[in-house]
Amino acid sequence: MSNADKKPHVQLFTDGACSGNPGPGGWAYILKHPASGSVREQSGAERETTNNRMELQAVIEGLRALKRPSFVDLTSDSQYVLKGLDEWIDGWKRRGWKTASKQPVKNQDLWETLDLLRAEHEIRFHWIKGHNMHAENERCDAMAVEAYRKLMMGV
């Protein structure tokens, strides 16, 4: 494989936050490219959402920010997101987006988007405990909370 064919390695840190569930919520990501040292941060918010939707949206937005297929180290405090992507999604698809207990998969629209995005990239999953002084996780949480607070204040 030539250097031109090698996928760039990036680190993606994500978090979602919600005030009430459902309620106003925010998402945030930090994307790091270790080889160049570049860092990109972004956040957003919705007026009426759930924490799980914001966790999913953070990953979607982080993966969408990538300009080409990449090797991604995804770090999240959401077991829902990581297990969904690593363990559950293929079974849901085989069962027509139904859970093992034959219930419709919640947040199917976002899972379908993530399924398309994961096909473009090679993703390795890393779970961390939330609110445990992990610098990027704490930063993402603060950005997500700030995003929904600004939205609710009309800023």
Domain containing 69 — which CATH number? 3.30.420.10
As for how many domains the chain has, the answer is 1
Judge if pTM exceeds 0.85: yes
* Residue at 103 is within a domain: yes
* Residue at 36 is within a domain: yes
> What is the side-by-side strand order in the sheet with 122-127?
38-49, 23-33, 9-18, 71-76, 122-127
* Residue at 1 is within a domain: no
Note whether 56 and 79 are within 8 A (CB).
no
Query: Distance (Å, rounded) from C-alpha 124 to C-alpha 143?
Result: 24
Domain that holds residue 30: 7-153
* Residue at 94 is within a domain: yes
Query: Could you give the residue numbers annotated as active site?
Result: 15-16, 55, 77, 131, 141
For the chain, 155 residues long, give each residue's pLDDT as a single digit of tens: 445 568 999 999 999 999 998 999 999 999 999 999 999 999 999 999 999 999 999 999 999 999 999 999 999 999 999 999 999 999 999 999 999 999 999 999 999 999 999 999 999 999 999 888 899 999 999 999 999 999 999 86
